[in-house]
Amino acid sequence: MADLFIHKRTVSGSPEIAGLGSVYGGSRRQFFECLPVACYACDCSGTITDYNRRSVELWGRAPQETDRFTGAHKVLDAQGGLLTPETTTTAFLIQSGLPQLSKELVIERPDGKRVTVISNAAALLDEEGKIIGALDVLQDITDRRWSEDARRVAERVSASARIAMEVVRLKPALLSMVNLLDLLGQDATLSVSARGCAERVRLELVHFDALLRHMAHLSGAA
Protein backbone atom coordinates (compact mmCIF):
# COMPACT_ATOMS: atom_id res chain seq x y z
CA MET A 1 0.00 0.00 0.00
CA ALA A 2 1.58 3.29 -1.11
CA ASP A 3 1.53 6.43 1.00
CA LEU A 4 -1.60 8.49 0.36
CA PHE A 5 -1.31 12.17 -0.52
CA ILE A 6 -4.30 14.22 0.60
CA HIS A 7 -5.10 17.85 1.23
CA LYS A 8 -5.12 19.37 4.69
CA ARG A 9 -7.25 22.11 6.13
CA THR A 10 -6.91 24.35 9.16
CA VAL A 11 -9.53 24.52 11.88
CA SER A 12 -8.92 27.12 14.59
CA GLY A 13 -5.29 27.26 13.55
CA SER A 14 -4.69 23.49 13.87
CA PRO A 15 -3.97 21.26 10.85
CA GLU A 16 -6.38 18.35 10.43
CA ILE A 17 -6.78 15.50 8.04
CA ALA A 18 -8.95 16.83 5.26
CA GLY A 19 -11.72 14.84 3.64
CA LEU A 20 -10.20 11.78 2.11
CA GLY A 21 -13.36 11.57 0.11
CA SER A 22 -12.65 14.94 -1.53
CA VAL A 23 -9.95 13.23 -3.54
CA TYR A 24 -12.67 11.05 -5.02
CA GLY A 25 -15.32 13.74 -5.34
CA GLY A 26 -17.48 12.68 -2.40
CA SER A 27 -17.68 12.89 1.35
CA ARG A 28 -15.35 11.13 3.74
CA ARG A 29 -18.17 8.98 5.09
CA GLN A 30 -19.12 7.84 1.60
CA PHE A 31 -15.51 7.09 0.80
CA PHE A 32 -15.01 4.91 3.86
CA GLU A 33 -18.41 3.20 3.68
CA CYS A 34 -17.92 2.15 0.06
CA LEU A 35 -14.82 0.14 0.96
CA PRO A 36 -15.35 -3.66 1.10
CA VAL A 37 -13.08 -4.06 4.15
CA ALA A 38 -12.66 -2.47 7.57
CA CYS A 39 -10.78 0.79 7.28
CA TYR A 40 -10.08 3.71 9.60
CA ALA A 41 -7.85 6.76 9.78
CA CYS A 42 -6.19 8.59 12.63
CA ASP A 43 -4.19 11.80 12.96
CA CYS A 44 -0.67 12.04 14.35
CA SER A 45 -1.94 12.19 17.92
CA GLY A 46 -3.73 8.88 17.40
CA THR A 47 -7.25 10.31 17.43
CA ILE A 48 -9.56 8.25 15.21
CA THR A 49 -10.84 10.69 12.59
CA ASP A 50 -12.68 8.33 10.25
CA TYR A 51 -13.90 4.74 10.21
CA ASN A 52 -16.52 2.65 8.46
CA ARG A 53 -19.26 0.27 9.54
CA ARG A 54 -17.07 -2.76 8.87
CA SER A 55 -14.52 -1.44 11.37
CA VAL A 56 -17.23 -1.21 14.03
CA GLU A 57 -18.30 -4.78 13.24
CA LEU A 58 -14.70 -5.97 13.50
CA TRP A 59 -13.96 -4.09 16.73
CA GLY A 60 -17.31 -5.00 18.26
CA ARG A 61 -17.89 -1.36 19.19
CA ALA A 62 -17.54 2.19 17.94
CA PRO A 63 -14.30 4.03 18.80
CA GLN A 64 -14.25 5.72 22.20
CA GLU A 65 -13.11 9.30 22.72
CA THR A 66 -10.11 8.05 24.67
CA ASP A 67 -9.03 5.57 21.98
CA ARG A 68 -5.69 6.23 20.32
CA PHE A 69 -4.33 4.69 17.10
CA THR A 70 -7.01 1.96 17.08
CA GLY A 71 -10.68 1.64 17.89
CA ALA A 72 -10.27 -1.91 19.17
CA HIS A 73 -10.86 -2.82 22.81
CA LYS A 74 -7.58 -4.77 22.80
CA VAL A 75 -4.99 -5.61 20.15
CA LEU A 76 -2.58 -8.54 20.39
CA ASP A 77 0.29 -9.56 18.14
CA ALA A 78 0.39 -12.90 16.32
CA GLN A 79 2.06 -14.52 19.36
CA GLY A 80 -0.68 -13.32 21.73
CA GLY A 81 1.26 -10.44 23.30
CA LEU A 82 -0.85 -7.44 24.26
CA LEU A 83 -0.05 -4.28 22.30
CA THR A 84 -0.38 -0.86 23.88
CA PRO A 85 -1.81 1.91 21.67
CA GLU A 86 1.72 3.27 21.24
CA THR A 87 2.96 -0.08 19.85
CA THR A 88 0.19 -0.67 17.31
CA THR A 89 0.97 -0.66 13.59
CA THR A 90 -0.46 2.81 13.01
CA ALA A 91 1.49 4.31 15.91
CA PHE A 92 4.74 2.70 14.72
CA LEU A 93 4.09 3.95 11.19
CA ILE A 94 3.55 7.54 12.34
CA GLN A 95 6.68 7.40 14.50
CA SER A 96 8.93 5.72 11.91
CA GLY A 97 7.38 6.68 8.59
CA LEU A 98 7.63 3.07 7.46
CA PRO A 99 4.54 1.36 5.96
CA GLN A 100 3.29 -1.58 8.01
CA LEU A 101 2.16 -4.22 5.55
CA SER A 102 0.58 -7.67 6.03
CA LYS A 103 0.87 -7.61 9.83
CA GLU A 104 -1.14 -10.40 11.48
CA LEU A 105 -2.93 -9.17 14.59
CA VAL A 106 -5.62 -10.40 16.95
CA ILE A 107 -8.43 -8.06 17.95
CA GLU A 108 -10.26 -8.77 21.19
CA ARG A 109 -13.78 -7.39 21.38
CA PRO A 110 -15.38 -6.12 24.60
CA ASP A 111 -17.28 -9.43 24.92
CA GLY A 112 -13.98 -11.36 24.89
CA LYS A 113 -14.36 -12.79 21.39
CA ARG A 114 -11.21 -12.62 19.29
CA VAL A 115 -10.79 -12.18 15.55
CA THR A 116 -7.60 -12.54 13.54
CA VAL A 117 -6.86 -9.81 11.00
CA ILE A 118 -4.25 -8.72 8.49
CA SER A 119 -3.36 -5.06 8.96
CA ASN A 120 -2.01 -2.87 6.16
CA ALA A 121 -1.23 0.65 7.33
CA ALA A 122 -0.04 3.52 5.15
CA ALA A 123 0.89 7.10 5.94
CA LEU A 124 -1.35 10.03 5.05
CA LEU A 125 0.76 12.85 3.64
CA ASP A 126 0.10 16.50 2.91
CA GLU A 127 1.23 18.36 -0.23
CA GLU A 128 4.67 18.77 1.26
CA GLY A 129 5.06 15.07 1.93
CA LYS A 130 4.75 15.37 5.68
CA ILE A 131 2.94 12.67 7.63
CA ILE A 132 -0.33 13.98 9.04
CA GLY A 133 -1.92 10.64 9.95
CA ALA A 134 -2.32 7.00 9.06
CA LEU A 135 -4.81 4.83 7.21
CA ASP A 136 -5.23 1.23 8.35
CA VAL A 137 -7.04 -1.44 6.32
CA LEU A 138 -8.04 -4.55 8.27
CA GLN A 139 -8.95 -7.86 6.65
CA ASP A 140 -10.69 -10.48 8.79
CA ILE A 141 -8.94 -13.85 8.30
CA THR A 142 -10.39 -15.62 11.33
CA ASP A 143 -12.12 -18.35 9.31
CA ARG A 144 -9.06 -18.89 7.14
CA ARG A 145 -6.78 -19.14 10.18
CA TRP A 146 -9.18 -21.58 11.85
CA SER A 147 -9.20 -23.75 8.71
CA GLU A 148 -5.41 -23.71 8.53
CA ASP A 149 -5.10 -24.66 12.21
CA ALA A 150 -7.67 -27.44 11.79
CA ARG A 151 -5.80 -28.76 8.77
CA ARG A 152 -2.51 -28.83 10.68
CA VAL A 153 -4.12 -30.68 13.58
CA ALA A 154 -5.65 -33.20 11.17
CA GLU A 155 -2.27 -33.76 9.53
CA ARG A 156 -0.63 -34.36 12.92
CA VAL A 157 -3.35 -36.80 13.98
CA SER A 158 -3.01 -38.63 10.68
CA ALA A 159 0.78 -38.87 11.07
CA SER A 160 0.38 -40.14 14.65
CA ALA A 161 -2.10 -42.74 13.45
CA ARG A 162 0.34 -44.00 10.83
CA ILE A 163 3.05 -44.32 13.46
CA ALA A 164 0.60 -46.06 15.76
CA MET A 165 -0.23 -48.65 13.12
CA GLU A 166 3.45 -49.44 12.69
CA VAL A 167 4.08 -49.65 16.43
CA VAL A 168 1.08 -51.91 17.02
CA ARG A 169 2.79 -54.55 14.91
CA LEU A 170 5.33 -54.88 17.73
CA LYS A 171 2.70 -56.14 20.16
CA PRO A 172 3.14 -59.93 19.57
CA ALA A 173 6.89 -59.68 20.12
CA LEU A 174 6.33 -57.46 23.16
CA LEU A 175 3.98 -59.98 24.78
CA SER A 176 6.49 -62.76 24.20
CA MET A 177 9.20 -60.72 25.93
CA VAL A 178 6.91 -59.93 28.88
CA ASN A 179 6.10 -63.62 29.33
CA LEU A 180 9.75 -64.57 29.12
CA LEU A 181 10.75 -61.98 31.70
CA ASP A 182 7.92 -63.14 33.95
CA LEU A 183 9.33 -66.66 33.86
CA LEU A 184 12.86 -65.43 34.50
CA GLY A 185 11.65 -63.49 37.51
CA GLN A 186 10.30 -66.72 39.02
CA ASP A 187 13.38 -68.81 38.19
CA ALA A 188 14.92 -69.75 41.55
CA THR A 189 18.21 -70.66 39.89
CA LEU A 190 18.84 -67.00 39.11
CA SER A 191 20.31 -64.64 41.64
CA VAL A 192 18.07 -62.20 43.47
CA SER A 193 19.73 -59.36 41.58
CA ALA A 194 19.08 -61.00 38.19
CA ARG A 195 15.44 -61.70 39.05
CA GLY A 196 15.00 -58.10 40.24
CA CYS A 197 16.47 -56.80 36.98
CA ALA A 198 14.13 -59.04 34.96
CA GLU A 199 11.16 -57.75 36.95
CA ARG A 200 12.08 -54.12 36.34
CA VAL A 201 12.40 -54.71 32.61
CA ARG A 202 9.08 -56.57 32.60
CA LEU A 203 7.34 -53.63 34.28
CA GLU A 204 8.78 -51.21 31.75
CA LEU A 205 7.47 -53.40 28.93
CA VAL A 206 4.05 -53.49 30.60
CA HIS A 207 4.03 -49.69 30.58
CA PHE A 208 5.06 -49.76 26.95
CA ASP A 209 2.21 -52.16 26.19
CA ALA A 210 -0.22 -49.65 27.72
CA LEU A 211 1.21 -46.98 25.42
CA LEU A 212 0.68 -49.28 22.44
CA ARG A 213 -2.97 -49.69 23.38
CA HIS A 214 -3.42 -45.93 23.49
CA MET A 215 -1.76 -45.55 20.10
CA ALA A 216 -3.91 -48.33 18.66
CA HIS A 217 -6.99 -46.43 19.88
CA LEU A 218 -5.69 -43.32 18.20
CA SER A 219 -5.16 -45.24 14.98
CA GLY A 220 -8.74 -46.46 15.03
CA ALA A 221 -10.11 -42.98 15.79
CA ALA A 222 -8.23 -41.46 12.87
Instruction: Identify which of 66, 86, 64, 65 has the alpha carbon closest to the alpha carbon of residue 75.
Output: 86
Q: From 106, 121, 140, give the residue that closes a domain.
A: 140
pLDDT number for residue 12:
34
The verdict on 119 and 18 lying in the same domain is: yes
The verdict on 113 and 94 lying in the same domain is: yes
pLDDT digits (tens, 9 = 90+) for 102-161: 999 999 999 999 999 999 999 998 888 899 999 999 999 988 767 666 666 666 666 666
The verdict on 109 and 188 lying in the same domain is: no
Among 29-43, 75-89, 171-185, which range has the highest average pLDDT? 75-89
Structural domain for 210, as ranges: 147-221
Where does the pLDDT of residue 212 fall: very low under 50, low under 70, confident under 90, or very high at 90 and above? low
The verdict on 156 and 88 lying in the same domain is: no
The verdict on 94 and 188 lying in the same domain is: no
**Domain count across the chain:** 2
Non-local (6+) Cβ contacts of 52 within 8 A are 32, 33, 35, 38, 39, 40
The verdict on 25 and 65 lying in the same domain is: yes
pLDDT digits (tens, 9 = 90+) for 155-198: 666 666 666 666 666 666 666 666 667 767 677 676 777 777 77
The verdict on 52 and 101 lying in the same domain is: yes
Q: pTM of the full predicted structure?
A: 0.59
Instruction: Identify which of 143, 72, 146 has the alpha carbon closest to the alpha carbon of residue 111.
Output: 72
pLDDT exceeds 70 at position 16: no
The verdict on 38 and 101 lying in the same domain is: yes
CATH number for the domain spanning 117: value is 3.30.450.20
Where does the pLDDT of residue 21 fall: very low under 50, low under 70, confident under 90, or very high at 90 and above? very low
The verdict on 41 and 131 lying in the same domain is: yes
pLDDT number for residue 161:
62
pLDDT number for residue 60:
95
Q: What are phi and psi of 174, to 5 degrees?
A: -65, -45
